[in-house]
Amino acid sequence: MRQLVLLKDIPDLKEITIDRETRHPKTEGIKTKISDLDKRALEAAIQAKGKVGGEVIVLSMGDDKTKTALLEALAMGADGAYIINETGVKGIDTNATSRVLEAAIREIGEYDVIISGEMTLDSLSSQIGPRLAELLDHPQVTYVKEYELSEGSVKAVRDLDNFEEIVETPLPAIVTVVREINEPRIPSLMNIMKAKRKPQTIWSLADLGLSLEEVQAMSYVKIKDVTAPEMTRKQVKIEADTIEEAASKLAAAIKEEGVI
């Protein structure tokens, strides 16, 4: 069994600061780390490997920083990594990204499952899994909170809007996971040391038979602006001598708003 985990390294959200004047987030020069849900997908794959054996391979598209971020994945237990390293692809949309990943997956060739987070926490778009399912013509199983891999199939519990669904899919299949699936392990110092010796294959777009121009031409969504607007709220402090009085004032204020 060969599980292919899609990982994205994103700026550490806790490190992002907002420029007071422009309200733009400052993301340059911030250390990147594997997006939380992707890490949980990796953890699920490693746990499944513990039961059915085989290999866990990670695939990521990024830049020079990605190699460092992916060491964590190798330390957690991934057996090898493929990285598409191309600074020019920064900012391409999900349509173009999925086409690049498709090319890389076809190059890797051999796999039973492709697994990733349901969304990445930077773009929050939830598109890559289903797009790859379409491009590769694989069954898709999204919002997975329980994942059980066996020879030839995956059984999963999906977390949908008002209900849960227990499903079974033949392989190869695409699986995306939600936060509840697990708590990712923290790698030991020994495994961190070992990670550096695991195989990492670095590809350029040209290695995948793609050019930067054609990839950019498939990228349709343009980001015009990103700001962190301040929440404009009334900021009324309810104060009184006693709790009862304060509660009464609050009840009156809510009534006054006409929302109840």
Site for another protein in 121-140 (CB under 8 A): 121-135, 139-140
151 binds another protein (CB under 8 A): no
Q: How far is the CB of 218 from another protein (least distance, A)?
A: 7
235 binds another protein (CB under 8 A): yes
Q: How far is the CB of 227 from another protein (least distance, A)?
A: 6
Contacts of 22 by beta carbon, 8 Å cutoff, 6+ apart: 227
Q: How far is the CB of 195 from another protein (least distance, A)?
A: 27
Pick from 142, 98, 148: nearest CA to 116 = 142
Pick from 12, 228, 5: nearest CA to 132 = 5
Peptide bond into 172 cis (omega under 30): yes
Site residues (CB under 8 A) for another protein, limited to 30-89: none
Q: How far is the CB of 157 from another protein (least distance, A)?
A: 9
179 binds another protein (CB under 8 A): yes
236 binds another protein (CB under 8 A): yes
d(CA 197, CA 210): 29
Both structure tokens of 224: 């015009």
Pick from 85, 82, 134, 129: nearest CA to 108 = 82
Q: Are 165 and 157 in contact (CB under 8 A)?
A: yes
Interacting span for another protein (CB under 8 A) from 64-72, 93-101, 185-193, 201-209: 93-101
Distance between start and end Cα atoms, the chain: 57
Given the complex with another protein, which of 66 and 120 has the nearer CB atom?
120
Pick from 182, 49, 199: nearest CA to 111 = 49
Given the complex with another protein, which of 53 and 258 has the nearer CB atom?
258
189 binds another protein (CB under 8 A): no
Site residues (CB under 8 A) for another protein, limited to 156-175: 160-170, 173
- Identity of residue 13: L
Q: How far is the CB of 135 from another protein (least distance, A)?
A: 6
d(CA 148, CA 167): 10
Given the complex with another protein, which of 197 and 237 has the nearer CB atom?
237
Given the complex with another protein, which of 74 and 133 has the nearer CB atom?
133
Given the complex with another protein, which of 179 and 196 has the nearer CB atom?
179
Neighbours of 3 (CB within 10 A): 27
